[in-house]
Chains A and B, each alone.
Chain A
Amino acid sequence: MEDPHGKEKPQNQPETGKKNTSRRKFMKSLGLLGAGAVTGIAALESAHFFEKAKTKGGKKQILLTQDNKLVEVDSLEIKALEKSPGEQLQDAGRTGIPGRRWVLVVDLAKCRNARRCISACQEAHQLRPEQYHLNTLQMQDSPKTAPYNMPKHCQQCDNPPCVAVCPVDATFKRQDGIVLIDNERCIGCRFCIAACPYSARIFNWFDPRDAEKYKDQTYNVELNVPQKKGTVSKCLFSADHLREEKLPYCVSACPNSVYYFGDENEDAVTNGTTKETVKLSKLLRDNGAYQLMPELGTKPRIYYLPPKNRLFPFEPANDEQPEKS
């Protein structure tokens, strides 16, 4: 083995100048040669394209534009959209709906644990019966306080612990406040499940429900269907419905007017059962709204109205368990 720091360096010194000039010369000629070659190829290529254009062009096609105008377009100019439907859904899904800040208000006084919201949700998101994007929990804060039913969604936190820990940007926060999950990106590490203090996330431990039936369906990141084995899923405020200006699945399925859904920027929320729209700030102020574990600093986007003057008597947990899986 030779000492890498040999003593030959000083001897080389005088030569370096000479070497540099010759190298510069070489680089120059190489550059000229390269430029020449590129121009030549480009010229040939454009000539070829021009020839092709002459032979195939000339056909005009009449098309209808998005704003209902008929236009005539040279058939050569017509190009297929580069992005597949799946990719377009991905782009829209990751961008969100500009100008919106979605918010959900849950009136605990009205919930009688009908669980219609759950079945609507599971139907829309192709979930198995034991998989919940949304679960209604029987809560009792301390021994002397009254028990109540609490629908629990993903809180769509503004400071989401799940998004912070995701190693691949599979779960992300959009400009309209929704935290989404992209199951074409998810690697299934389940760090987000561990990090979520609200236990809002679920995992596809096996092939999802009806995997065969939906296997050719284009993946819609705003609905997270078709579900994929080995990836995480969660409530996403029915982002696909919001894009169509509809209320979320759970909100419109509720028979007991528990849910109000709307846009914080407009300061308006609509009740899913009565379709009545009220002022968000007034609703929160008049009813003493609160959030789930705000002390954790997650900044949830869901507000709860306390179970005061309950409309229905509390029925003890009818905890029938779905089939083991």
Chain B
Amino acid sequence: MAESTPSFENISRDLTSHINLSKGFKLWMGFLIVGLGVCLYAYYLQLRDGLGVAGIRDYVSWGLYLSNFVFFVASSLIGMLISGVLGMIGIKWITPITRIAEIIAIAFSAIAGLVIVMDMGRPERLAYVFIYGRFQSPILWDVTVVTTYFVLSALLYYLTLIPDLALTHRKIDKLPPFAGRMYKLLSLNWADKPEQNVIIHRSVKILLLLLIPSALAIHTVTSWLFALTLRPGWDSTIFGPYFVSGAFVAGSSAVIIAMYFFRKNYKLSNYLTDVHFNNMGKLLVLVSLIYLYFNINEFLVPGYKMRRADAIHLQDLLAGHNALLFWTVQIGGLILPIILLLFRKMRTPLPLMLISIAVFIGSWFKRYIIVIPTQEHPFLPIQHVPLNFKVYTPTLTEIAITMVSFFLVLIIITLLSKFFPVIPVYETANERGVKTTEIG
């Protein structure tokens, strides 16, 4: 494929060759759509019978749906870290990863909005949030910033994609003709003229500047859904940075998993090289260490003082009925990965991907640990209610409804990565010093 000095022709062929309707793609999409259909049936049951089909009850009234929402918002933050922060300070190796990070940001932030609707007792009253919205409520802030972040991420993805859309239009021949017209339409007659590049460059810069505060805002506000209450376990002043740093852990692992499968399925090993995996591995260690630091603060400080309500909560987490989950997540999803990733061998694609899966799953359960146990220990005792009010156990229906969000995210990621170059063609060529104007 790529020779020692690859031409633009070669690069663009490599990076657009995955745009086709392969059998594998059809099978995978078929699987996702069938899965989605089955899980949507569970949601229909919930609409018919009420939120009670889930395991949530009066005391633990926020369960899987809400912890899943937090996880989705968290995962979407990686777009800001990679494109925004690392991109703005001019780190070069991220070029082939930026678009993957943006795809993850778009998919997870879009579905986060849906996940929260699934948690509503009266989803048909969603419009009330806009009609009767009260700005004192953090939910209003959350709706505002999540929407903003999604729009910014989608714009950023699209603007940087425009040159590649024009290129794809010229390159592809394996798709039906209407697809060709679609690429042309979307490329807005881009023709690699200097003034066009200036416009894109400037707009992207503005978007990146806006992306950083809005990303910080979405997860800080999401953490405030908890931190603004008086409940032991949530009543914490460091929830904002604690959540943001945790978000980078979840997002980095998601990007690494995506990188691995794109590299393998789309044959991109010349572009997503071992160097990129090595660097992403280091990034994951860095953000995990920061998260570990916040974890120590979050548990050690109240644990040292042992105020009564905090003590009950911590005892349950560290040695009570949530202890197994707590320690598995903290050790298996955070401490062990940090230690393993210190070794260079572990930062090669396959081991890194496997470790990232552990981190990703750990991150999901970490949100569960943040959201649920606190509600099992309110200030006043839980008495005279059935057992399922006292201890939260998710139901199968609830798990299926939660799966809806994962199927949807996978569908968005699959479609975006399959039908548009998943690695920026022009930027890659520019970075390798290859002239881009030879075709046109």
Question: How far, in whole Å, are A323 and B389 apart by their CA atoms in the complex?
Answer: 11
A137 & B388 in contact (Cβ 8 Å cutoff): no
Q: Counting CB contacts under 8 A, is B381 at the interface? A: yes
Q: Counting CB contacts under 8 A, is B437 at the interface? A: no
Q: How far is the CB of A286 from chain B (nearest CB, A)?
A: 27
Question: How far, in whole Å, are A167 and B56 apart by their CA atoms in the complex?
Answer: 21
Which of B122, B126, B385 is A231 in contact with, Cβ under 8 Å?
B122
26 A-B pairs, CB-CB below 8 angstroms?
A1-B189, A1-B196, A130-B385, A135-B383, A137-B381, A161-B229, A164-B137, A165-B228, A166-B137, A167-B129, A167-B133, A167-B137, A186-B122, A188-B120, A189-B119, A189-B120, A189-B121, A194-B61, A194-B375, A195-B230, A195-B231, A197-B229, A197-B230, A199-B378, A229-B121, A230-B51
Interface size class of A (residues with CB under 8 A): 35 or more
Q: How far is the CB of B175 from chain A (nearest CB, A)?
A: 26
Q: How far is the CB of B416 from chain A (nearest CB, A)?
A: 24
Q: Counting CB contacts under 8 A, is A123 at the interface? A: no
- Nearest-CB residue, chain B, relative to A150: B380
| Cβ contacts under 8 Å, B129 to chain A | 167-168, 187
| Cβ contacts under 8 Å, B229 to chain A | 161, 165, 194-195, 197
B133 & A168 in contact (Cβ 8 Å cutoff): yes
Question: How far, in whole Å, are A165 and B384 apart by their CA atoms in the complex?
Answer: 28
Given contacts A191-B137, A206-B49, A230-B122, contact A199 B385 (CB under 8 A): no
| Cβ contacts under 8 Å, A202 to chain B | 58
| Cβ contacts under 8 Å, A216 to chain B | none
Q: Counting CB contacts under 8 A, is B275 at the interface? A: no
Central interface residue in B51, B61, B225, B386, by most chain A CB within 10 Å: B61
Among A21-29, A82-90, A276-284, A314-322, the stretch in contact with B: A314-322
B128 & A187 in contact (Cβ 8 Å cutoff): yes
Number of B residues with CB within 8 Å of any CB on chain A:
54
Interface of A is mostly: loop
B199 & A137 in contact (Cβ 8 Å cutoff): no
Q: Counting CB contacts under 8 A, is B134 at the interface? A: yes
Given contacts A137-B380, A161-B229, A167-B134, contact A204 B50 (CB under 8 A): yes
Q: How far is the CB of B60 from chain A (nearest CB, A)?
A: 10
| Cβ contacts under 8 Å, B122 to chain A | 186-188, 230-231
Q: Counting CB contacts under 8 A, is A201 at the interface? A: yes
Q: Counting CB contacts under 8 A, is A138 at the interface? A: yes
Question: How far, in whole Å, are A185 and B120 apart by their CA atoms in the complex?
Answer: 13
Mask: chain A, 1-12; 1 = CB below 8 Å from B; 0 = not: 101000000000
Instruction: Give residues 117-153 of B contacting A (CB, 8 Å).
Output: 119-123, 125-126, 128-129, 131-134, 136-140
B121 & A186 in contact (Cβ 8 Å cutoff): yes
Q: Counting CB contacts under 8 A, is A324 at the interface? A: yes
Mask: chain B, 375-401; 1 = CB below 8 Å from A; 0 = not: 100111111111111000000000000
A199 & B120 in contact (Cβ 8 Å cutoff): no
- Nearest-CB residue, chain A, relative to B138: A165
Which of A167, A193, A324 is B386 in contact with, Cβ under 8 Å?
A324
B121 & A166 in contact (Cβ 8 Å cutoff): no
Which of A185, A230, A321 is B128 in contact with, Cβ under 8 Å?
A185
B51 & A165 in contact (Cβ 8 Å cutoff): no
Known interface pairs A1-B193, A204-B121; 18 further A-B residue pairs with C-beta atoms within 8 A, sorted by A's residue number: A164-B136, A165-B229, A166-B137, A167-B139, A168-B125, A185-B125, A187-B122, A187-B126, A188-B123, A190-B62, A193-B61, A194-B226, A197-B231, A203-B57, A229-B50, A230-B50, A231-B121, A293-B379
Q: Counting CB contacts under 8 A, is A266 at the interface? A: no
- Nearest-CB residue, chain A, relative to B388: A324
Given contacts A3-B195, A168-B134, A191-B137, contact A317 B52 (CB under 8 A): no
Question: How far, in whole Å, are A186 and B51 apart by their CA atoms in the complex?
Answer: 14
Q: Counting CB contacts under 8 A, is B266 at the interface? A: no
A168 & B383 in contact (Cβ 8 Å cutoff): no
Central interface residue in A139, A166, A194, A199, by most chain B CB within 10 Å: A194
Q: How far is the CB of A246 from chain B (nearest CB, A)?
A: 27
A169 & B380 in contact (Cβ 8 Å cutoff): no
Question: How far, in whole Å, are A191 and B134 apart by their CA atoms in the complex?
Answer: 13
Q: Counting CB contacts under 8 A, is B179 at the interface? A: no
Mask: chain A, 278-319; 1 = CB below 8 Å from B; 0 = not: 000000000000001100101000000000000000000101
| Cβ contacts under 8 Å, A229 to chain B | 50, 121
| Cβ contacts under 8 Å, A321 to chain B | 384-387
Which of A165, A197, A320, A323 is B379 in contact with, Cβ under 8 Å?
A197
| Cβ contacts under 8 Å, B123 to chain A | 188
Q: Counting CB contacts under 8 A, is B420 at the interface? A: no
| Cβ contacts under 8 Å, B137 to chain A | 164-167, 191
Question: How far, in whole Å, are A135 and B138 apart by their CA atoms in the complex?
Answer: 30
A206 & B52 in contact (Cβ 8 Å cutoff): yes
Instruction: Give residues 160-212 of A contacting B (CB, 8 Å).
Output: 161, 164-170, 185-191, 193-195, 197-199, 201-207
Q: How far is the CB of B371 from chain A (nearest CB, A)?
A: 9
Q: Counting CB contacts under 8 A, is A116 at the interface? A: no
- Nearest-CB residue, chain A, relative to B134: A169
B128 & A193 in contact (Cβ 8 Å cutoff): no
Question: How far, in whole Å, are A199 and B52 apart by their CA atoms in the complex?
Answer: 18
- Nearest-CB residue, chain A, relative to B125: A187
| Cβ contacts under 8 Å, B121 to chain A | 186-190, 203-204, 229-232
| Cβ contacts under 8 Å, B199 to chain A | 1, 3
Q: How far is the CB of A322 from chain B (nearest CB, A)?
A: 6
Q: Counting CB contacts under 8 A, is B188 at the interface? A: yes
| Cβ contacts under 8 Å, B93 to chain A | none
- Nearest-CB residue, chain A, relative to B62: A194
B134 & A198 in contact (Cβ 8 Å cutoff): no
Q: Counting CB contacts under 8 A, is B419 at the interface? A: no
| Cβ contacts under 8 Å, B384 to chain A | 130, 132, 135-136, 319-322
| Cβ contacts under 8 Å, A165 to chain B | 136-139, 228-229
Question: How far, in whole Å, are A180 and B356 apart by their CA atoms in the complex?
Answer: 48
